[in-house]
Each structure stands twice: as C-alpha cells, then as structure tokens.
Structure 1
C-alpha cells in the first residue's frame, strides 16, 4: 500500500461526511475497475447488501471492512476515506487569493500548489513599470523560475538580475533577496517556486 499520511488533511471531521465520501469513492473505484457490486463483494468477502448500503452512504463500515475493500480494489486505504478531487480542476481567471505588494504595483495570484515531499507553487504575477518589487529570501534550497507571458521585465537575485521578454524564462536560487521590475505596462509572468 501507499503512504497515506499526505492525504489525512482531506478527511472530514464528521462521521456522516466520512460515510458519504467512502460510499462515493467505493462506487467510483469499483466502476473504474469495471466490477459489479456482486464481483467486488465477492473479492472483499462482503455481502452484496453491505456493499450496496455502503455505496448509498447508509452503511457503517469498520476499519477491517474498508481494508478488505481497499485490497479488493488494489488501492490505498486513503483513497476510500478522503475527498476525491475531480479529474479536471478549474480555476477561473477571477478566482484565487490575490497578494498585493505594499507600496508597489505588483500583484500575485496562486494558481497551483502541489506536491508531497517536494512542493511546487505556481503564481501569476502582474506588474507595472516604475517600481521595483523586492522579495525577501524564501527557505533554503528554494528555486524560482520566472516565465514572461506579456511585456518585458527584469528579475533575479540582487546584482544578478536579467532582462526577459515574452516567452523568456529565468531560473535562480530564491533563498536570497531577489527583485521584479516591469519594463512595460501590463507585464505578466508565471512564477514557479520549487521547494526541495
């Protein structure tokens, strides 16, 4: 089985929430495996009615039952008890938390945060000329990639900044002070932080 510890934050606190999630997950995983209720029940040594009630969200499964089901489906236990993210996740252009720099025309919006042991964060940044945004050091070992989407800008560690245009990318160690400066109005960039 896989390590389930990274999924524990997706477990709801109320019992009915867990039962509902388990039912949805068992049904989804059973259908993905191409199994009927009867086939999965036989593999997990459960009655068909027990499995049917579980999928309907009305059962009250014990840990042993869930372990048997996870083995029969060949999935990690956590896949049964944690909320399943849809196959396609959408974040609209007007969604997400914006961070605006104090005293400067620099705005960033978190687009993606993913990873277990290695975290990656992806931001969309917009900036206007005539201001330099000075970023404080990130954690040791963090690297940053800046990809310009629109306009021109200067970015990089203090004293080693470079000029970038549309489609250009710069990658640098971000555990020191670094800067962003738009050279054109409406400059936009994608910033990728890689934590190791």
Structure 2
C-alpha cells in the first residue's frame, strides 16, 4: 500500500512547521509535501497524486481561491481544504462556489484541524456550521475589511486591462495561464462590487491601485 501524502500550499513557515509536527504525531504514516506559493507548485508540480490538498486562501501572487481552478485541472477530484486566518463567511461562501471541499480556520484547535483532515480523507466535505455557506449572487461583492487592497498580481492584471481586453491577450501579456487570469478577474470584480472589467479599471484608478502612466507589455491583438 502506498504511503498517503498531503500537499500543503501555504506561505507561512510557522504554520507549515506546526502542521508538520501535528501530523507527525497524529498520522505518522502520512507524508506532507510543502510549497509556499501557487507559482512554485505550477513550476514544479509533484509527480504523485496527493490524497488531500490544503490550500491557504491568502497566498501572495496567485491567490489561493484563484489557484483552485489549476488544482482541479491538474489533480482532478482530489479533495481541497481551504485554510485561512480569517474565519469570514463571505470567503467560505466563495470557496464553496469555486469548488473547494471544505474550509478550516487556522485558529481552530489542533484536534479540530485533525478531525477536519480525517473527515476529508474519508470523502466528506468540511464546512463550518452554523451558518451553512451559501453561494454568492453575481451582484453581491465579498465583504472585505477596511483597508483591503488587491495583491501585487491582481494589480498587474488591473493595470493590463487598460491595454488588453480578452483573457487570451491578458494571459499572453502577463505570462500566466488563461484560467488563472479568468479566476483572478472574477474574484476582483466580486470584491470590488463591479459588474464589468471597464468598471473594475475605473474603480482601481479611483483607488490609486493602477496608474495611467504604467503599462504592462506591448499591446497585442485581443
């Protein structure tokens, strides 16, 4: 029987160390493979198929929620549990909408985390209750704390919107997979509470997140 393996995608070294120690005691038969970003995983994906994937929501660069699309494409139906220090109902709902199998707060007690991993390994979805997460409507933006701003990657995408209109053109200019660009844009529009890319660009300029004097790449046919 092959050794079960978990894939952990998290940029917080202390959390990775804590989970490694926790699993060493509770599941010594399991192997934990760690990466600190979606970019690192996409550059060198493991040759094996993990039994369970643990994915941090607030990764630098490619956001954890946007990374779900790539994980589904590469690993199929392998269960994905989202991890976050923010126990936010809106984030939970977005993770559910995008196809995650569960959500675990990083502030949860160790036994609660182990129980979530056990349930996921048995094929059960793991969602906090109450409240039961609900799918957000297309017009309902994610509730973000005061002072939220897009990641550096998301700002690059917003800046590129001034030159490129299609996902294909954006993907080529930013040197990112098209489905990552599509997922990041979808999340940005929901969080900004806008319904079009043009509105997203206008709002980003109003917030000072992009500049009319900066460009990304050379314009290509869109």
**Normalised by the size of structure 1, how large is the TM-score?**
0.26
Q: Which has the higher helix share?
A: 2
| Structure with greater strand share of residues | 1
Which of the pair has more CA radius of gyration? 1
Please give the TM-score of this superposition, normalised by the length of structure 2. Answer: 0.24
